[in-house]
Structure 1
């Protein structure tokens, strides 16, 4: 096969005219600028809100290729939500700083905690998801996923405050509901019982009520699964059924310890 034929075959198999990696790159830059505008003391707010508006217009034109989707109109409504989003994130950061003995300040939380960054990008993307903006919300949370190992779908509904400790390996599905003052550790999955395209419009991820703690590597599956308020879910637990309020759920594998040192 000669070079001309190879080029022709590649062109023939590029079947998605709207698949432009510029969308991903611009979303990543937009997400960073948005985060800095809300948190960085040296990033001037008024000037950057204007710049963000321009960046958003470019993104909207790229992702809204279907007819009758006036995505540009979302921006003015979105920026009205930013003060409320920032209040929620400040509450998240304070809760982490006040409850984690390893945290030395709220500044440390905002700068170095991957769980906080993942929550921040989730909250910022969730409002775009609510407005029905295509692609951008998911690409925003993928920015956080790539940097933190934490995968929160922008469609999830998450109360305040929320704390993900250590963060790596956490998965929170699109229809999950997490209420107020919930704390989860690394490796936790809030997922669906199985994957089927017919479940697209249905609730398929669990509900976590107020004041629940879920320890490392616990897996909780199913749209009808509810973890009752004030419950503690231990590490490595696998749940597909609801748990009443004030429960303690644990997984206790048998562990054998043998002293292999030789005795005289």
Structure 2
């Protein structure tokens, strides 16, 4: 007697069930297409190229190899091959950067209904200007390394700082992105700063102005707003916010070019989780802002701002105070 094929019945049941299932895809496609085509939702369905986030991240890694030769490249570097190595790296970086800047300019022109004039030529000019700035940026980064070694006893040497300190990595990206912002390159600086935030949880707006010998200790949770001005030899600890006061609903347009974030003068130390808000707020030189302090008004030079110690309650194993 032939054995009953249970698997065949199972396949027939599954096929019958699949035929009766509702297919949600056509309706969803129609609704999504309608929303994107009629302009109700933001999209990039257009023939104009847009910068690639992946390519911008590659540019950051290329810049890191150029600014810190021998640390992140696979090649073994010697004094006699340094010229060749940097020349090759810079040539590749120059072409890739110009391509991404060209996409950013063309996309920006399209977004604002502007005629795209000499986009390719401008992209190479901006890329060349950033490369011209690399020695200055590298010199600033050296001061940032010095500040880290001076301010953190746990920092064994410069190699350790370059390899492993998130504050230096975020600062390197900020200094590159800030220069591109100065050159009026659209979109790419924010992609760069977002990558730094993703890697380090440190959020530095490319528009901020930061002096030399800048040190972020630990770093996670640090926020530096767009119109923040930071002087030289400033030290921030984790969780510090240099932000704006509560803004009205129409702040995006009305306050776009207004200073909304504080000014931190030279040699200031701001400890963990301190919050300093407002464009008119100035922290005077050599001041120290203690942990968890909330400030919306200016502080003069050589001032210490601390919270009063809270009353601590100690409870023993039996719940006795």
TM over 0.5: yes
Q: 2:104 aligns with which of 47, 60, 63?
A: 63
Deviation at 1:251, TM superposition (A): 1.4
Alpha-carbon displacement from aligned partner over 1:96-126 (angstroms, at most 9, x marks no partner): 1133100000010011000111111101111
Does 1:178 find its partner at 2:230? yes
Rg larger for = 2
In the alignment, which of 82, 95, 109 is matched to residue 161 of structure 2? Answer: 109
CA displacement at 1:4 relative to structure 2: 3.2
**Residue of structure 2 equivalent to 1:32:** 61
* Aligned partner (choices 103, 122, 127) of residue 179 of structure 2: 127
Q: 1:55 to 1:12 in 2, by over 3 A?
A: farther
Show the 5 A alignment for 1:215-234.
Answer: 215-234=271-290
Q: Secondary structure at the match of 1:224?
A: coil
Q: Deviations over 1:65-107 (max 9, x none)?
A: 2123533321111111000000000111122113310000001
Q: Compare 28-37 and 220-229 and name the one that shifted more.
A: 28-37
Q: Helix, strand or coil: the match of 2:52?
A: helix
* 1:45-73 C-alpha deviation (Å, 9 max, x unpaired): 11011111121122123211212353332
Q: Higher mean Cα deviation, 59-68 or 6-15?
A: 6-15
Q: Are positions 1:3 and 2:59 aligned together?
A: no
User: 2-side partners of 1:240 and 1:60: how far apart?
Assistant: 38
Supply the RMSD in Å over aligned alpha carbons.
Answer: 1.9
Please tell me whether the aligned partners of residues 283 and 299 of structure 2 are also in contact (alpha carbons under 8 angstroms). Answer: yes
**Number of the residue aligned with 1:48:** 89
Are the aligned partners of 1:23 and 1:63 in contact in 2 as well (CA < 8 Å)? no
The residue that corresponds to 1:136 in the other structure is 188
SS at match of 2:95: helix
After TM superposition, the structure 1 stretch with the greater mean CA deviation from structure 2, 194-203 or 102-111, is: 194-203
Which sections of structure 2, spanning at least 5 residues, go unmatched? 1-22, 76-84, 110-115
Instruction: Report Cα offsets for 1:163-188 as digits up to 9, x if no partner.
Output: 00000000000110000000010000
Total equivalences in the alignment: 263
CA gap 1:63/1:18 in 2 versus in 1, 3 angstroms: farther
Deviations 1:21-41 (A, max 9, x none): 862121111111111221131
Task: Name the CA shift for 1:175/1:22 in 2 (closer, same or farther; >3 Å).
Answer: closer
**Deviation string, structure 1 residues 216-258 (Cα, Å, up to 9, x no partner):** 0000000000000010000000000000000000112522232
Gaps of at least 5 residues in structure 1 are none
Deviation beyond 6 Å, 4+ runs, structure 1: 18-21
Query: Which deviates more, 60-69 or 31-40?
Result: 60-69
Note the 1:68-83 alignment, pairs <5 A.
68=117, 70-83=122-135
**Separation (CA, whole Å) in 1 of partners of 2:168 and 2:244:** 24
Which deviates further from its counterpart, 67-76 or 105-114? 67-76
